[in-house]
Structure 1
Amino acid sequence: MLWTLFYIDLAIMFLAWLFATFNGRAGIVDVAWSACISVNILLCAWFFDSAPESLRIFLAVLSSAWFVRLSWHLARRYLSESEEDTRYANMRRAMGRFQHIGFLLFFIFQTGLAILFSYPMYALLNTDASMWQAWLPMTMIVAAVIMLIAFVGEVLADQQLYRFKQRLENRGRTMDQGLWAYSRHPNYFFEWLHWFAYPIIGLAAGLYVLWIYPILMFLFLYYITGIPFSEQQALKHRGENYRDYQRRTSMFIPWKPKTKS
């Protein structure tokens, strides 16, 4: 089944690469990545009929909703921007005349990441009903609360930032209102929080390996793809305005902001 999912995701990514090749904007890869995961979840929930039905419905609704919403948000951001995302513009310049094959390999790599981050849902749904303890409903309730908090938090953070950027008078200013007053990256924090839901559910079947996913997501967000690049770009474009924000505001975990000096 994992290979089947890989080939489906590869087809989605290939179509996204063709789209990016013709319009010169590779940011569509982010939309395709989250769409791949939502497709993977729905297919697993449909075909793995040996898993508890309650769990199949739970993940098909709550987990896929997370990634569908993320795809929609990324697509909206992609369509609202006239220029290519700085990350991919830098990659395009670095690859030069090899950019088309370079981006093809990058999109294929993202297919692998989509499978990697689909594995928790795959593992849960591929576990036979006889393997689950009677207290599975309890872990699902805890997971549902985590997912709900993460969903509301991320939607609120994304909407606050989107509305802030839409106002012309905010050009060159740093968003430091709402949830962004308590964390410089509340969207990343709630993204990380979401990934605790799967290992908590997995406790009822001894799937302790899933605890690696909150750690993995933290490493990706905090050290690799998320915060470092965002901070670098913010300092480049907003300078001292953003440095002041850094001094006052927690980087990741929401916390009471410091008083302006």
Structure 2
Amino acid sequence: MAVDYRVGRGLDGASRATGFVVVAVTYLVAGGVAWAVAEVLRTHHPLTVTFWADIAATLVVFLASMVAGNSSLYDPYWSVAPPVVVLAWTSHLGARAAIVDVLVLVWAARLTANWALGWRGLGHEDWRYVRIRGQGRAPWWLVSLTGIQLMPTLVVFAGLLAVWPAFGGGRLNGIDAVAAVVTVAAIVVEAVADIQLRRFTADPGNRGKVAGRGLWRVSRHPNYLGEITFWWGLWLFGLAAAPSWGWTVAGPILMVLLFALVSVPMMDRRSLARRPAYAEHMRRVPALLPRLTGSR
């Protein structure tokens, strides 16, 4: 007999509107708890304060996801938390800090809106979570807490750590210009890829077909490519402000590993199982970076 992974009764039958209310309340409570933790730790270094506040907020979302019976309650956290963190780090609004704040806010608003457009409510859980849960190798609450929620929170915090020096002031330089171009390009690529995919999947005539138009013609996962590039752009801002913090390159490297070793293989396996033509698509189109020469 399958074991119910939910702590609470679950809200599978709730309307989409009710689901959004649950998400909003959850994140407001998470924000309040994070603020309380920050107040308790206010005499510590800002990095320490935001780290533990971030962890506390994640735990609140985790508990809510267990009660709701849906780990996808965490999904918007990826884009909701970063602007809160960078705004908390903005002690004075210099030119570099202002640019970083605006770019992170634009990225976050767009990505959160993309999530909201595609989210069908508490009765729907990300297919990856469903698959992992079905493997039953460990208690679901532990898998959800560590692998689905805490791990991404830590990876995102590592990515944000790279921009900490950007909030310390200093004049803009050539690296900032490169960082701005890279970050803006990344946001545009990710946004265009998401729009193209939504239009493709909305057409009933494309059911069972492979998305091979626009950016999807040169990269199997252009949305992931845009996301990865965004974090490299943020790292460049930190490098422009303080080259000695170059070691924070570990953040964008973790992003590359997360997408290249986890997200891309999972999406490819799913597409192979659902679309007969995907094997040929994989042979012709690279996973992330477009080929500089034509495909064979």
Q: TM-score, normalization: structure 2?
A: 0.74
**Aligned residue for 1:236?**
273
How many Å apart are 1:29 and its aligned residue?
A: 2.0
Per-residue displacement from partner, 1:23-56 (whole Å, max 9, x unpaired)? Answer: 43312322112211221112112xx23xx61122
Residue segments in structure 2 that go unaligned for 5+ positions in a row: 1-45
**Aligned residue for 1:215?**
253
**Aligned residue for 2:70?**
25
- Does residue 66 of structure 1 match 2:102? no
How many Å apart are 1:6 and its aligned residue?
A: 2.7
CA–CA distance in structure 2, aligned partners of residues 109 and 44 of structure 1: 22
**Aligned residue for 2:61?**
16
Contact 1:28 1:75 in 2 (8 A): no
How many Å apart are 1:101 and its aligned residue?
A: 4.5
The 5 Å alignment of 1:28-107 reads: 28-45=73-90, 48-49=91-92, 53-79=94-120, 83-95=124-136, 98-106=139-147, 107=149
**Aligned residue for 1:193?**
229
Change (3 A) 1:110 1:154: closer
**Aligned residue for 1:108?**
150
How many Å apart are 1:227 and its aligned residue?
A: 0.9
How many Å apart are 1:81 and its aligned residue?
A: 9.2
Amino acid at match of 2:162: P
**Aligned residue for 2:181?**
145
Change (3 A) 1:76 1:95: farther
CA–CA distance in structure 2, aligned partners of residues 233 and 99 of structure 1: 22
Give the secondary structure class of the aligned counterpart of 1:226: helix
CA–CA distance in structure 2, aligned partners of residues 8 and 120 of structure 1: 18
CA–CA distance in structure 1, aligned partners of residues 216 and 62 of structure 2: 33
How many Å apart are 1:149 and its aligned residue?
A: 1.2
CA–CA distance in structure 2, aligned partners of residues 184 and 244 of structure 1: 12
How many Å apart are 1:97 and its aligned residue?
A: 8.8
How many Å apart are 1:95 and its aligned residue?
A: 4.0
Amino acid at match of 2:253: I
Higher helix share: 1
Amino acid at match of 2:285: T
Q: 1:173 aligns with which of 204, 209, 217?
A: 209
**Aligned residue for 2:24?**
none
Residue segments in structure 1 that go unaligned for 5+ positions in a row: none
Change (3 A) 1:235 1:146: same
Change (3 A) 1:3 1:213: closer
Q: TM-score, normalization: structure 1?
A: 0.82
CA–CA distance in structure 1, aligned partners of residues 268 and 253 of structure 2: 21
**Aligned residue for 2:8?**
none
Change (3 A) 1:175 1:64: same
Contact 1:5 1:40 in 2 (8 A): yes
Contact 1:12 1:36 in 2 (8 A): no
How many Å apart are 1:204 and its aligned residue?
A: 4.4
CA–CA distance in structure 1, aligned partners of residues 242 and 47 of structure 2: 20
RMSD: 2.6
Number of paired residues?
247
Contact 1:28 1:78 in 2 (8 A): no
